[in-house]
Chains A and B, each alone.
Chain A
Amino acid sequence: ILNVEQSPQSLHVQEGDSTNFTCSFPSSNFYALHWYRWETAKSPEALFVMTLNGDEKKKGRISATLNTKEGYSYLYIKGSQPEDSATYLCAFKRGGSEKLVFGKGMKLTVNP
């Protein structure tokens, strides 16, 4: 059974605060790690697909890092805005499998 853990499960911050979430996954036979943002009443949308150890990706104020050897990825949001309020999901793919397994998500609420 693949175990993908996300922490914290929820976070309330003030506008302008920076946030940091963690996704933990099995370190053996790594293939890819995905990050998605899921806003209320919408479908999940892809943020990043990360495949290389040490990789760092950035989209606007959001960035992510990847450590495949120790099995974790960090998602950072710099200067959170109310429109960043959403559930952030990570998903893990193991080598040799097309299965993409999600963590339980991290619900972010940014108060104006």
Chain B
Amino acid sequence: SQTIHQWPATLVQPVGSPLSLECTVEGTSNPNLYWYRQAAGRGLQLLFYSVGIGQISSEVPQNLSASRPQDRQFILSSKKLLLSDSGFYLCASTMSSYNSPLHFGNGTRLTVT
């Protein structure tokens, strides 16, 4: 079964600082990878997804970006954080078949001050 490693678990960053969150996947190859964010009092918002190396689909215009340099590595970045970037970030993975569920990492709690 898939295991999703996500780090760090918590992060406090000042406004304007850069961000790098990393996610790696074990137990599968060529997964679909996703970054979700839960802001306070809201549901899970899809930020980015990737169906292969170097292939990134962006769902929400913002100051975040994602990259997939290796098959099982997915990175979420920002050059300059905003207060509104605070939230709980989840990386998820699924096999690219129609009935495969998502497997989630443990998440990163980001607070921008």
CB pair A44 B90 closer than 8 Å: yes
A residues less than 8 Å from B98 (CB atoms): 31-32, 51
Main secondary structure of the interface of A (DSSP, over half): strand
CA distance A93 to B90 in the complex (A): 18
Q: Which residues of A20-67 are within 8 A (CB) of B?
A: 31-32, 34, 36, 43-46, 49, 51
B residues less than 8 Å from A91 (CB atoms): 44, 102
Is B10 interfacial (CB-CB < 8 Å)? no
Q: Known interface pairs A32-B98, A46-B101. Does A99 touch B44 (Cβ–Cβ under 8 Å)?
A: no
CB pair B43 A89 closer than 8 Å: yes
CB pair B105 A102 closer than 8 Å: no
CA distance A43 to B37 in the complex (A): 13
CA distance A104 to B102 in the complex (A): 17
CB pair A49 B101 closer than 8 Å: yes
Measured as residues with beta carbon below 8 angstroms from the partner, the interface class of chain A is 20 to 34
Is B11 interfacial (CB-CB < 8 Å)? no
CB distance from A107 to the nearest CB of B (A): 11
CA distance A44 to B92 in the complex (A): 10
CB distance from B1 to the nearest CB of A (A): 11
B residues less than 8 Å from A102 (CB atoms): 36, 43-46
CB pair B96 A105 closer than 8 Å: no
B residues less than 8 Å from A31 (CB atoms): 98
Q: Which residues of B contact A (CB under 8 A)?
A: 4, 32, 34, 36, 42-46, 49, 51, 57, 59, 90, 94, 96, 98-107
Q: What are 7 A-B pairs at a CB distance below 8 A?
A: A46-B101, A91-B44, A98-B51, A98-B96, A99-B46, A102-B43, A105-B44
